[in-house]
Amino acid sequence: MTVSDSVDYRAMFRLDGKRALVIGAGSGIGRESALALGALGARVTCADIDLAKAEETAGGSGSDSAATLLDVRDADAVAAAAAALPDLDVLVFTTGRNVRKRLFDYTTAEFDDVLDLNLRGAFHIIRAFGAGMVARGGGSIVGMSSIRSITVEPGQAVYAASKAALVQLIRGAAAEFGPAGVRVNAVAPGVVRTPLTDPIFAVPEWQAAYAAKSALGRWARPSEIAGAVAFLASDASSFITGSLLCVDGGWTAVDGRYDPPR
């Protein structure tokens, strides 16, 4: 018998019996991530700053799902949520804010708002929930970064800086939590059709430019990002930590879209 003969490859993608929390589950990628984890057998708690939307997602995430109100900018609220979920196996957070303005037009207040949610909020989340996972000796944390952590365009400098810093925060957590068996990874979506990107999608030139930049020539669906989240949450990724998984249709791999003549 070889080593592979003893592995149940179907089971390693399952999340049966796992307790999961998805922060930002009210819409978009967070919502689809919660639905994906629930479909794979996890007991999902859906957290969002909009409780009604979290409850709506929980309604489709399985009979054992629950919803809770959470503002990750509030360190005390995050700590209380972590205390209320002492047996957490999977943590996914997709919260984020983007103010698309050029640097000369940015206000200090807008800069603070973006960093407060995208980076400080992630700091609260990783510390509070990571502590419990480290104490129990296992778990998977998945944070939502962006292709803007790698590549940028005018009007995205502050958002890009926050998402790049998030990747390094996640890598640092992976280094510190790894000896306890806790994995910490980031997902970097490309352009995804969600309510947050509807204003971009509504401009034909902008929509087409973004679609053309990727190798696949289209925008992503939230469910396509949720598949990557589910993989990182499962035992199928048991030797992956400190990684940035780009789910961008080839955006960060392709340099230009000109197809030279043969």
Please list the active-site residues: 159
Angle among Cα 97, 23, 159 to the nearest 5 degrees reads: 20
- Beta-carbon count within 10 A of 256 CB: 7
Give Cα separations from 197 to 33, 46, 148 (angstroms).
Answer: 18, 22, 14
Residues whose CB falls within 8 Å of the CB of residue 159, separated by 6 or more in sequence, listed in order: 97, 98, 99, 100, 114, 118, 146, 148
Coil, helix or strand for 63?
coil
Whether the CB-CB separation of 131 and 91 falls below 8 Å is answered with: no
Residues whose CB falls within 8 Å of the CB of residue 185, separated by 6 or more in sequence, listed in order: 140, 141, 142, 143, 170, 174, 232, 237, 240, 241, 242, 243, 244, 245
Whether the CB-CB separation of 222 and 28 falls below 8 Å is answered with: yes
Residue 192 DSSP code: B
Tokens read off for 100 = 């698309």
Whether the CB-CB separation of 20 and 87 falls below 8 Å is answered with: no
Give all strands (DSSP E) within 191-252, no chain letters: 244-247
Tokens read off for 7 = 């592995």
